[in-house]
């Protein structure tokens, strides 16, 4: 079982933001912005490239609800999903990174200090 499936099954702890029957949002353990939340489908899907359109259609309002819950819906945020090896995907269970909490820079290599992402 992959680590995000273990989080879904509560075999691993997570700092959950929002959850329903099909989706879950929890804080990233190594935040790269003041707000860094991961949004996943509960069923195991390897990446965006494998996800079906029905799941994506339902995931969209869930992600919007997560943004409202975090209070970034008005100020804005960034959604990122890494796909495969060249995309830098480390956990092979589809997840969207929701980043926000300040004006995000648009570049690479800002390291792991959350505030350097601003």
Catalytic residues: 95
Query: How many CB atoms are located within 10 Å of the residue 12 CB?
Result: 12
- Interacting span for ligand AMP (CB under 6 A) from 23-31, 48-56, 58-66, 71-79: 23-31
Q: Residue 104, interface with ligand AMP (CB under 6 A)?
A: no
- Give the span between the Cα atoms of 69 and 64, in whole angstroms: 9
Q: Which residues contact 80 (CB under 8 A, 6 or more apart)?
A: 96, 97, 99
Q: How many residues does the chain have?
A: 118
| Site map (CB under 5 A) of Zn ion, residues 83-102, x = contact | ----------x---------
Q: Which of 2, 9, 11, 29 binds ligand AMP (CB under 6 A)?
A: 29
How far apart CA 14 and CA 106 sit, in angstroms, is 28
Across the strands, what pairs with 97?
Answer: 38, 80
One residue of 21, 86, 90, 107 binding ligand AMP per CB under 6 A? 90
Contacts with Zn ion by CB under 5 A lie at 2, 4-5, 44, 93
Question: Using CB under 6 A as the criterion, which residues of the chain lie in contact with ligand AMP when the complex forms?
Answer: 3, 12, 14, 28-30, 38, 82, 88-91
């Amino acid at each position: 079982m992959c680590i995000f499936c273990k989080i879904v099954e509560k075999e691993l702890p997570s700092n959950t933001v929002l959850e329903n029957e099909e989706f879950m949002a929890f804080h990233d353990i190594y935040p790269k912005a003041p707000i860094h939340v991961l949004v996943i489908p509960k069923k195991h899907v390897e990446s965006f490239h494998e996800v079906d359109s029905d799941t994506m259609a339902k995931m969209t309002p869930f992600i919007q609800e997560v943004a409202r819950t975090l209070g970034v819906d008005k100020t804005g945020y960034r959604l990122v999903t890494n796909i495969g090896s060249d995309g830098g995907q480390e956990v092979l269970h589809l997840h969207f990174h929701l980043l926000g909490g300040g004006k995000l820079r648009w570049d690479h290599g800002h390291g792991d200090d959350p505030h350097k992402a601003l």
